């Protein structure tokens, strides 16, 4: 059964909802020791957290839709964000992105095709911890399950 309404349109970007869904599913997969798939979803969680902030700011979005140049995965998006535009509205995100080198430089969406064992538990834990921190930086942490 499909949903109807504005949230059912696949073209509607709802980054907070997507971030929570990816976080929740990553947690389930991590508990089952599905490292590669959990890691993929932690990367998507981080990506959606950043995009949640970007879509609210005129420097990155028009009419509530993210500009095409920011429709990148986390490994590319991290270095693409102009930090000054975040400073006032998202000081925590600004500070974190400014201080940290890209912890997702070793993450790629195509790793979903990789064999088991390609991603280490340590890498997954790092990506999980960064995703958690980004959720907090964009004020989504209180809603995370």
Q: Does residue 49 lie within any of the structural domains? A: yes
Q: How many CB atoms lie within 10 A of CB 21?
A: 15
The lowest-confidence range among 57-71, 115-129, 130-144 is: 130-144
φ/ψ of 85, rounded to 5, equals: -70, -20
| pTM tops 0.85 | yes
Q: State the residue range of the domain holding 106.
A: 14-143
Per the structure, how many domains does the chain have? 1
138, 90 in Cβ contact below 8 A?
yes
Q: Does residue 120 lie within any of the structural domains? A: yes
Q: What is the DSSP string of 89-123?
A: T-HHHHHHHHHS--TTTT--GGGGGSPTTSS-HHH
Average pLDDT, the chain: 90
Please write the tens of the pLDDT for every residue from 63-103: 889 999 999 999 999 999 988 889 999 999 999 999 879 99
């Amino acid at each position: 059964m499909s949903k109807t309404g504005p949230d059912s349109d696949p073209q509607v970007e709802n980054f907070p909802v997507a971030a929570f869904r990816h976080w929740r599913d990553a947690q389930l997969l991590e508990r089952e020791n599905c490292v590669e798939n959990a890691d993929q979803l932690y990367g998507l969680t981080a990506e959606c957290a950043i995009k949640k902030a970007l879509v609210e700011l005129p420097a990155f979005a028009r009419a509530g839709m993210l500009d095409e140049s920011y429709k990148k995965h986390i490994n590319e998006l991290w270095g693409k964000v102009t930090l000054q535009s975040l400073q006032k509205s998202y000081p925590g995100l600004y500070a974190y992105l400014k201080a940290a080198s890209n912890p997702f430089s070793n993450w790629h969406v195509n790793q979903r095709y990789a064999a088991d064992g390609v991603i280490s538990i340590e890498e997954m834990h790092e990506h999980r911890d960064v995703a958690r921190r980004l959720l907090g930086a964009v004020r989504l942490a209180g809603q995370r399950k």
